[in-house]
Amino acid sequence: MMMNRRLTLAGLLALAALPTTGLHAQTGGAVAFPFYSGEQALQGLYAHHIPPLARAFEADAQALVQTARQHCNGPAALPALHQAWRQALLSWSAVSAPALGPVIERRSQRQIDFWPPRPALLEKALKSAPQSLADMERIGTPAKGLPAMALLLAERPSPAHCSYLVLVAEGIAAEAAALRTGFDALAQRDWTQDEDAARTAFAEWINQWLGGFERLRWAHIEQPVQRARTAGKGQPPAFARLASADNQAEWHAIWQALRAQARLTQERATQPPQPGQGLIPIEALLMGKGQIALAQRWAAAFDAADAAMAALPARAGEKDLMALSKTLKGVTTLYQTEVAAALDVPLGFSDADGD
């Protein structure tokens, strides 16, 4: 399901060593940007940026469990359960776009966000009446996680399904806790102590960012439209989520997560991020390398994509979505042809692609 890009062994061996010492100013307009090492970029990503996202997902997943338990008291709680589900979905989207570290190692997207769900498998799982998370381990992933829960909610679950809803929510919360633990460990890592590990992790980030971006552009948005056109007979696109509003909310959450790692905020454009104090986005890395013109084109491509995302109608049609995908493709093309090379990272695939 995932369209993540990771480096092949050959690609890793071809990487030039990441510079680890020295600061020299590069100027974009009147603002001087320091040179950022790969280790500094990783520290900003894993020590400052991702941990709050992981904690937020864990908190929202726990809230989903509590709301699911309350649903057992009666159907009046159903709207609140859907809202809790959506909040967990959005915080999951923020921490998993792009998929990094424990999200990859644990195959979390397969575990709690395998889509589309399989109604037949879900029905079989309900009939098996699992009583614990240990029982749930014997149930296939298409009958668990966020998509399966959404399918149950759409069918207005009966009281008999309540215990299963709670177990699904508990499974999501367990995965969220494991991810938070994994990212907490990465937050404590000193990337300067292992140059090879830092080089690999930096290359993984640059590749996975593109994988996450293409997952949004292609798998979430364009591919469902293309498949519906191929099927013909007026068949509507089968997006990841059942409700149009949920799809758009998720797309915007993913977009904001990817944007944060790629584009300088307005404040940081005039006050460059300082190593050890926060996230150093891709645009800042380009500025620090003296790639001023490329950084400006990168920012312009993102601004165009930003505007297209913001202008997407609530009831977007196929033409709207294809136009959006075309605009997003401009970011993809620039990244593939110039940005990754400027960062000295070759792009490639591995066995993890397609999860």
Predicted confidence band of residue 78 (pLDDT cuts 50, 70, 90): confident
pLDDT in tens, 83-94: 999 999 999 999
Show the beta-strand stretches assigned E in the chain: 26-28, 31-33
Q: Which residues pair with 31 in a beta bridge?
A: 28
Task: Give 181's Cβ-side CA count (13 Å radius).
Answer: 8
Q: Work out the average pLDDT over 46-61.
A: 98
Predicted confidence band of residue 47 (pLDDT cuts 50, 70, 90): very high
Q: Is 59 helix (H, G, I), strand (E, B) or coil?
A: helix
pLDDT in tens, 338-347: 999 999 999 9
Q: Is 17 helix (H, G, I), strand (E, B) or coil?
A: coil
**Residue predicted with more confidence, 63 or 71:** 63
Asked if the model's pLDDT at residue 20 lies above 50, the reply is no
Q: Which two tokens stand for residue 220?
A: 């979430």
Q: Which two tokens stand for residue 154?
A: 């759409």
Architecture of the structural domain at 9-342: Up-down Bundle (1.20)
C-alpha distances out from residue 76 to 21, 71, 80, 157, Å: 60, 8, 8, 12
**Rounded percentage of the chain residues whose pLDDT exceeds 90:** 79
Q: Which residues pair with 33 in a beta bridge?
A: 26
**Rounded percentage of the chain residues whose pLDDT exceeds 70:** 89
Task: Give 245's Cβ-side CA count (13 Å radius).
Answer: 5
In a 10 Å sphere around its CB, with 0-12 CB exposed, 13-18 middle and 19+ buried, how is residue 193 labelled?
Answer: exposed
For residue 2, the model assigns a pLDDT of: 39
pLDDT in tens, 2-17: 334 333 333 333 333 3
**Are 39 and 192 contacting, i.e. CB atoms less than 8 angstroms apart?**
yes
Asked if the model's pLDDT at residue 132 lies above 50, the reply is yes
